Amino acid sequence: MTAGTVDERVADTGRLRRMLIRPELGAVVGAIVVFAFFASQSATFRSVDGVANWLDPASTLGIMAVAVALLMIGGEFNLSAGVLTGTTGLILVTLATRFGWNVWAAMLAGLAVALLVGFLNGLIVVRTRLPSFIVTLGTFLMLQGINLGVTKALTGTVQVSGLRRADGFESARAVLADSVTIGGTGFRVAILWWIAVTVLATWVLMRTRAGNWIFAVGGDDRAARAVGVPAERTKILLFMTTAGAAWLVGSILALRFTSVQANAGLGQEFIYIIAAVIGGCLLTGGYGSAVGAAIGAVIFGMADKGIVFAGWDADWFKFFLGAMLLLATLANRLVRRYAEEVRH
């Protein structure tokens, strides 16, 4: 601190280190390791068909993980995101098959409901200052009850089906749930949506004022408010973003399977959070990346299908996921400690 010596905090840091040390570094390394592992176990896994196969679960999970990551960077959780994919799917199929709605109109209705749920989640969180964990746990349970209750009341069973016969099904399916053939291999269109969502989220985070505000409200809500950052609006919009993503994924899955179970999406909410955390998001907020969450989803997809390709008992999948989560979190902490010296 005295004259002559330069405080190390004052010194600027190297470009290479800045590029290397990013929140998603741990996830990238993890993805390479997991890929190498399963690729060595199964020839199918590393074939183009295999890649198309495991990118499929990665894509629908990835769309949600990216949205959930934005919300987590903003300092909040959304436990109702998984069940909301079921709700939107149920609305779509029910309106289209029971009430004769056009599929597109039914999807719009699903979107409206999803955004309303997201808005209410956000509004309750910012107005009451209750932990979002509790608030969205409440909406999670309520949605779960509505999904089951309404489906049973309308159909007498626990699923709605028959979307294929509805008006506008083919065009909606082409946009959201079809496959595109590249080099003889069919890739799900959902993969493109996932990439688009990741690119958009990354751009918002890194290049827009809103992105700056997301990091700020998640890092230090009080400080952000003190300089006039619209913290409430930012958070409500983040909840609506996760709800919008849930609608997209719910619609994709409904159009793909043409039927929806009343318990669809149940239990997925934690998978989204796991993918975001593997991707470098902190549970405490203010730190993380959208690309990392997308890569976290890739790891999940690879493990999900890789275990099957390798000929193992799929029962072991959860064990693998848990071990991956622990390892990735430890690796991310190391990266983060190192990163505190640096910044993009």
Partner 1 sequence: MTARPNPGTPAGEPLLDCRGVSLAFGSVRALVDVSLSAREGEITAIVGDNGAGKSTLVRCVSGIHRPDSGHIEFDGAETSFHSPEDAREAGIETVHQNLALVEDLTVWQNLFLNREVVRRLGPLAVLDRRAMRARAKEMVSKLAVNVPAVRSRVRRLSGGQRQAVAICRAAGFSSRLVIMDEPTAALGVQETARVEELIRALRDEGHAVMLISHNFAQVIRLSQQVWVMRAGRCVGGRRTAGTTGEEIVALVTGALNR
On whether the CB atoms of residues 302 and 34 are closer than 8 A, the answer is: yes
Q: In the complex with partner 1, which residue's Cβ is closer, 183 or 228?
A: 228
Spatial separation of the C-alpha atoms in residues 71 and 83, rounded to whole Å = 17
φ, ψ for residue 161, nearest 5 deg: -145, 180
Task: Based on the shown chain and the rule CB under 8 A, indicate whether residue 17 belongs to the binding site for partner 1.
Answer: no
Q: In the bound complex, what is the minimum distance in angstroms from residue 286's beta carbon to partner 1? A: 4
In the region spanning residues 218 to 237, those forming contacts with partner 1, defined by CB under 8 A, are: 219-220, 222-224, 226-229
Q: What is the DSSP letter of 164?
A: G
User: What is the contact mask toward partner 1 in residues 271 to 300, using x (rule: CB under 8 A)?
Assistant: ---------------xx-------------
Q: In the complex with partner 1, which residue's Cβ is closer, 7 or 313?
A: 7
Counting residues that bind partner 1 (by CB under 8 A) gives 32
Task: Based on the shown chain and the rule CB under 8 A, indicate whether residue 38 belongs to the binding site for partner 1.
Answer: no
Closest to 96 in 3D by CA, of 84, 85, 88, 104: 104
Q: In the complex with partner 1, which residue's Cβ is closer, 75 or 296?
A: 75
Closest to 187 in 3D by CA, of 278, 51, 335: 51
Q: In the bound complex, what is the minimum distance in angstroms from residue 72's beta carbon to partner 1? A: 13
Task: Based on the shown chain and the rule CB under 8 A, indicate whether residue 16 belongs to the binding site for partner 1.
Answer: no
When binding is defined by CB under 8 A, the residue of 11, 129, 183, 315 that contacts partner 1 is 11
Q: In the bound complex, what is the minimum distance in angstroms from residue 184's beta carbon to partner 1? A: 38
Task: Based on the shown chain and the rule CB under 8 A, indicate whether residue 89 belongs to the binding site for partner 1.
Answer: no
Task: Based on the shown chain and the rule CB under 8 A, indicate whether residue 341 belongs to the binding site for partner 1.
Answer: yes
Spatial separation of the C-alpha atoms in residues 168 and 162, rounded to whole Å = 13
Which of the ranges 110-118, 139-147, 180-188, 336-344 carries the binding residues for partner 1, by CB under 8 A? 336-344
User: What is the contact mask toward partner 1 in residues 68 to 87, using x (rule: CB under 8 A)?
Assistant: --------------------
Task: Based on the shown chain and the rule CB under 8 A, indicate whether residue 10 belongs to the binding site for partner 1.
Answer: yes
Task: Based on the shown chain and the rule CB under 8 A, indicate whether residue 13 belongs to the binding site for partner 1.
Answer: yes
At 28, the amino acid letter reads V
On whether the CB atoms of residues 254 and 163 are closer than 8 A, the answer is: yes
Spatial separation of the C-alpha atoms in residues 260 and 254, rounded to whole Å = 6
On whether the CB atoms of residues 235 and 76 are closer than 8 A, the answer is: yes
Task: Based on the shown chain and the rule CB under 8 A, indicate whether residue 178 belongs to the binding site for partner 1.
Answer: no
On whether the CB atoms of residues 334 and 94 are closer than 8 A, the answer is: no
Structure tokens at 10: 């004052």
Q: Which residues pair with 95 in a beta bridge?
A: none
In the region spanning residues 192 to 211, those forming contacts with partner 1, defined by CB under 8 A, are: 206-209, 211
How far apart, in Å, are the Cα atoms of 311 and each of 11, 41, 52, 308, 322? 53, 9, 18, 5, 20
Q: In the bound complex, what is the minimum distance in angstroms from residue 12's beta carbon to partner 1? A: 5
When binding is defined by CB under 8 A, the residue of 4, 12, 267, 311 that contacts partner 1 is 12
Spatial separation of the C-alpha atoms in residues 92 and 253, rounded to whole Å = 11
Structure tokens at 157: 């069973």
Binding site for partner 1 (CB under 8 A): 1, 7, 9-13, 18, 206-209, 211-213, 215-216, 219-220, 222-224, 226-229, 286-287, 340-343
